[in-house]
Amino acid sequence: MPYSPEQIEPKWQDFWKRHETFRAEVDHAKPKYYVLDMFPYPSGAGLHVGHPLGYTATDIVARYKRMRGFNVLHPMGWDSFGLPAERYAIRTGIHPAVTTKQNTDTFRAQIQRLGFSYDWSREIATTEPDFVRWTQWIFLQLVEKGLAYQAEVAVNWCPAQSTVLANEEVKDGKYIETGDPVEKRLMKQWMLKITAYADRLLEDLEDLDWPEGIKAMQRNWIGRSHGAEIVFPIDGDQGEMRVFSTRPDTLFGATYAVLAPEHPLVAKITTDAQRQAVADYVEKTAKLSSFERAELSRTKTGAFTGAFAVNPVNGAKVPVWVADYVTMDYGTGAVMAVPAHDERDHEFARLFDLPIIEVVRPGSGHDIAAEAWTGDGTLVNSGFLDGLPVAEAKTKIIGWLEEQGAGHARTTYRLRDWLFSRQRYWGEPVPIVHLEDGSWRTVPDQDLPLLPPELEEYGPSPDGEPPLARATDWVNTVDPETGQPARRDLNTMPQWAGSCWYYLRFIDPKNDELFVDPEKERYWMPVDLYVGGAEHAVLHLLYARFWHKVLYDLGHVSTNEPFHKLFNQGMILAHSYRDPNGRYYEPETVEEREGAFWGGGHKLDRQIEKMSKSRFNVVNPDDMVKEFGADSVRLYEMFMGPLEATKLWDTQSVAGVRRFLNRVWRLVHDDADAVDTARLTDAAPDPALAGQMARTIAAVTTDIEEMRFNTSIARLMEVVNTLTPMEARPRGVVTDFVRVLAPFAPHMAEELWQALGHTESIAYAPWPEPDAEALAAGGEELKEYPVQLNGKIRAKVMAAPNLSGDALLDAVKADPKVSELLSDVTVVREIPVKDKLVNFVIAK
CA–CA dist 325, 258 (Å, integer): 9
Q: Which is nearer to RNA, 6 or 445 (CB)?
A: 6
Distances (CA, A) of 777 to 36, 631, 689, 773, 782: 39, 34, 11, 6, 11
Cβ nearer to RNA, comparing 549 with 666: 666
Q: How far is the CB of 233 from RNA (least distance, A)?
A: 19
Which neighbouring-strand residues pair with 317? 310
Closer residue to RNA in complex, CB, 2/464: 2
Is the omega angle on the peptide bond into residue 449 within 30 degrees of 0, that is, cis? Answer: yes
What whole-number distance in Å separates Cα of residue 141 and Cα of residue 550?
9
Please state the closest distance from residue 278 (CB atom) to RNA, in A.
17
Please say whether the beta carbons of 412 and 331 come within 8 A. Answer: yes
DSSP 3-state assignment of 138?
helix
Cα separation values, 54 from 49, 138, 531, 651, 739, Å = 10, 29, 6, 18, 22
**E strand spans, 545-601:** 563-569, 572-578, 584-585, 591-593, 596-599
CB of 560 to RNA, least distance (A): 24
Amino acid at site 473: D
| Closer residue to RNA (CB): 435 or 655 | 655
Binding-site residue numbers for ATP are 613
In the bound state with RNA, the residue whose beta carbon lies nearer, of 32 and 414, is 414
Helix segments in 629-729, DSSP class H: 630-639, 651-668, 687-705, 709-723
Cα 330 to Cα 733: distance, rounded to the nearest angstrom: 65
Rounded Cα–Cα distance for residues 413 and 193 (Å): 13
- Region of 519 please: left (phi>0), alpha (psi -120 to 50) or beta: alpha
Judged by CB, which is closer to RNA: 86, or 342?
342
User: Nearest-CA neighbor of 432 among 471, 475, 473, 469?
Assistant: 475
Residue 656 Cβ, how far from RNA at the closest point, in Å? 3
Nearer to RNA, 94 or 714 (CB): 714
DSSP code, position 114: T
* Closer by beta carbon to RNA, 63 or else 410: 410
CB of 700 to RNA, least distance (A): 12
Give whole-number Cα distances, 520 to 25, 33, 75, 264, 547, in Å.
9, 13, 15, 53, 19
Shortest reach from residue 437's CB to RNA, in Å? 37
Concatenated DSSP letters of 42-90: --TT---TTHHHHHHHHHHHHHHHHHTT-EEE----B----HHHHHHHH
With contact defined as beta carbons under 8 Å apart, do 290 and 183 qualify? yes
Shortest distance, position 146 Cβ to RNA, whole Å:
25
Question: How many of the other CB atoms lie within 10 Å of CB of 447?
Answer: 13
Least Å distance between CB 229 and RNA?
10
Binding residues, as ranges, are 613
Q: Which residues pair with 787 in a beta bridge?
A: 795, 838
Q: How far is the CB of 609 from RNA (least distance, A)?
A: 10
Question: 170-171 and 527-533: which strand pairing?
Answer: unpaired
Nearer to RNA, 260 or 443 (CB): 260
Strands 71-73, 32-37: pairing is parallel
For residue 217, the minimal CB distance to RNA (Å) is 4
Which DSSP state fits 494?
-
Question: Which C-beta is closer to RNA: that of 396 or that of 414?
Answer: 414
User: Please, where are the H alpha helices in 706-765?
Assistant: 709-723, 731-741, 746-755
Q: Of the two residues 319 and 429, which places its CB atom closer to RNA in the complex?
A: 319
Q: How far is the CB of 725 from RNA (least distance, A)?
A: 5
